[in-house]
Amino acid sequence: MLVVMQAGASPEQISRVLDSIRALELTPHPLPGATRTAIGITGNTGAVDSRLLEVLPGVKECIRVTKPYKLASREMHSADTAFDIASTKVNSKTFTMVAGPCSLENEAMIMKTAEFLMENGVKLMRAGAFKPRTSPYAFQGMGLEGLEIFKRVKKRTGIGIVTELMDTEHAAAVEDAVDVIQIGTRNMQNFSLLKRVGLTRKPVLLKRGMSATLEEWLMAAEYVMAGGNYQVILCERGVRTFSDHSRNTLDLSVIPPAKILSHLPIFVDPSHGTGKRAFVPPMSLAALAAGADGLLVEIHPDPDRAMSDGAQSLDFPNFQKMLGSLRQIAEPLGRQMG
């Protein structure tokens, strides 16, 4: 249910509606808009009796939200979600670049990558400190020591950091160290982890599960938002299909329906989506053209020696070349590179 307040509703009238929702043992989510405030309601298992709220002063109307996801739906929030991360923006006019190595391997390589990115106008860096590896014998990441390195990189270069959180145990440490908490494809339906990041106040980049439908993905976003964290970025990273020409099938066709059903920004990860570095630039351009709000790209100072995902990582010159091509098509598509 969505309670729409009148344009001139006073703060006292809004608080009274919030209190009435709480008195029904439901959770109110105030959603301030350009012209009026709306209040989303979650926590109900059956229908909410709208008559109890419609009679309150300042209430314009109550609208039933028909989708199973509520806070993530356009029905509840018609405008595109926008927010800032470090010194860059996520919104429908910006194409937000995030790039960096698959794994944080050591301080020197991450510092070098951050400096390179900042020099090239890319203000967000990705890198994994906790790595979900298929083999238990593969490099698992630098863990907590990596988070300390991130803090130093941020301090020295001013870059914003995106990193994956794999379990609830490290949630507080990751929230403290970085700017965006990434939830990986393997954890898209780890509901305890989703609830935990819902309690943080850092944006969450939610990768699509490798065989998740759009509805399942939006329900996962709903878990985060139900906890009060509304800064969620969806990230398409390829799904499993019969294709053997690429690691995954990058499903750019999910972008238009995601934009219709949800107000959340959507990024694309062409690196995991293809698994091969040669395919990353064309699919990045295609993502921009398809309406994506940003990219998450793997780059490495020396991809052939990377400790993980080297085959899909661009080297610095090829990444610069790709940035140049993206800049050329961003403006005609109504986007500014951010």
Which residue's CB comes closest to ligand PEP?
A: 184
**What is the per-residue binding string for Mn ion in 102-141, x denoting contact by CB under 5 A?**
x---------------------------------------
CB of 102 to ligand PEP, least distance (A): 5
Q: Is 17 in the site for Mn ion (CB under 5 A)?
A: no
Q: Is 309 in the site for Mn ion (CB under 5 A)?
A: yes
Three-state secondary structure call for residue 239: strand
Distance, in Å, from the CA atom of 200 to the CA atom of 180, rounded to the nearest integer, reads 10
Backbone angles phi, psi at 227, to 5 degrees: -80, -5
Distance, in Å, from the CA atom of 235 to the CA atom of 126, rounded to the nearest integer, reads 13
Residue 264 partner contact from Mn ion, ligand PEP, none using kind-dependent CB cut-offs of 5 to 8 Å? none
CB of 185 to ligand PEP, least distance (A): 4
Nearer to Mn ion, 71 or 268 (CB): 268
Q: Is 314 in the site for Mn ion (CB under 5 A)?
A: no
Nearer to Mn ion, 170 or 247 (CB): 247
Distance, in Å, from the CA atom of 194 to the CA atom of 216, rounded to the nearest integer, reads 13
CB of 105 to ligand PEP, least distance (A): 13
Distance, in Å, from the CA atom of 63 to the CA atom of 189, rounded to the nearest integer, reads 29
Rg (CA), the chain: 21
Integer CA distances (angstroms), 135 to 30, 139, 140, 303, in order: 44, 9, 9, 20
**What is the per-residue binding string for Mn ion in 83-102, x denoting contact by CB under 5 A?**
-------------------x
Contact 165, 219 (CB under 8 A): no
CB of 131 to Mn ion, least distance (A): 8
CB of 34 to ligand PEP, least distance (A): 34
Distance, in Å, from the CA atom of 171 to the CA atom of 200, rounded to the nearest integer, reads 8
If phi > 0 it is left, if psi is from -120 to 50 it is alpha, else beta; for residue 100 that is: left
- Which residues are at the interface with ligand PEP (CB under 6 A)? 102, 128, 132, 184-185, 207, 237, 269, 272
CB of 128 to Mn ion, least distance (A): 7
- The site for Mn ion (CB under 5 A) is made up of 102, 309
